[in-house]
Amino acid sequence: MGTYWKKKSHEEIKSIVFSALDKNVNYETQNILGIPASYLDDKIFNQDNSLLKDAPFISSLIQNPNHIGCHTLGKSESFFEGTQAIEKELLEICAVDILNGEPGQHDGYVASGGTEANIQAIWIYRNYFMNELAAKREDICILCSEDSHYSMDKASNLLAIDIYKIEVDKGNREVKEEKVTEAILKAKKDNKKYFIVICNMMTTMFGSVDIIEAFTNPLSDLSCEFKLHIDGAYGGFYHPFADEDNHLSFKNKDITSVTLDAHKMAQAPYGTGVFLIQKGYMAHANTKEASYVEGEDYTAKE
């Protein structure tokens, strides 16, 4: 039994969800001008359907909450505080009960999917290196296996940082230390000084799990400055339960962030990605220009 992840009956789930929805803004009775959300058209989304009283998830979709901000950072916009609280509980379940993190030590949010979450991690680390270590963009690179998800290439393109792919063993798709070393030395030859490293917790095409030491040993031996992200979009809701000796968790001091995808192996609807990162990094993705948004998560930190 986990710290937070407790089995609940359908009636308990209904009570929790409907109580949360009652705390959200009511589009029918309250002024919602200026909120980036709206009442859904009754002709398409019948909100009086008798089936909804036994369908908490569908009821949530029809009430159409927009979770603005990152609620783990503190107080957020109050319009959807009921369902925001459920999101925070979900994130704590994932960070602590699945990924062995310490309670209250992680930020994150429910994303559209693994692609967004992976790009978010790489964006944060690029900005971290630039903000905290005075790195130039051209000094930073992505390091991952050739079996990694294409979202790494998207991040490379969007963030204008180079990517270095590590050749894998064609028999078992394993990443070997010597191949990681080769890729690092090639990057260093290209004057790369800061490494955003991706390890896979089950790749999409092969289900292979990267051995984290194959990355961290060469990175340490070659005195590399790096941040390490785990892409668990495919295996994050499976591998931690299948392998009791799972090394790709927050127990490992080298791991700063993780992507999960509940719509792959957790039987959730599409659009249920999860992004988790240790405290202290989320500020590198905050948009200070969003001055119209209220809440501690959008307060500019000097």
Sign of CA dihedral 260, 263, 267, 268: positive
CA dist., res. 135 & res. 43, Å (int): 54
What pLDDT score does 88 carry?
A: 96
What pLDDT score does 35 carry?
A: 86
CA dist., res. 100 & res. 114, Å (int): 20
What pLDDT score does 298 carry?
A: 62
Q: Can you tell me which residue has the tokens 């979709």?
A: 61
Cβ(225)–Cβ(189) under 8 Å?
no
Q: Give the amino acid at 45.
A: F
What pLDDT score does 1 carry?
A: 45
CA dist., res. 168 & res. 199, Å (int): 13
Nearest to 114 by CA among 266, 216, 278: 266
Residues with Cβ within 8 Å of residue 157, at least 6 apart in sequence: none
pTM of the predicted model, to two decimals?
Answer: 0.93
What pLDDT score does 75 carry?
A: 82
- CATH fold of 106-278 reads Aspartate Aminotransferase; domain 2 (3.40.640)
The ranges assigned to domains in the chain are 10-93, 106-278
Element (H, E) at 171: none
Q: Measured in Å, how far apart are the chain's first and last C-alpha atoms?
A: 42
What radius of gyration, in Å, describes the C-alpha atoms of the chain? 21
Distances (CA, A) of 295 to 23, 73, 159, 269: 17, 9, 27, 29
Chunked in runs of 10, what are the mean pLDDT values of the chain (302 residues)?
A: 82 96 92 87 85 92 91 89 96 97 96 97 98 98 98 98 97 97 98 98 96 98 98 96 93 98 91 96 83 64 46
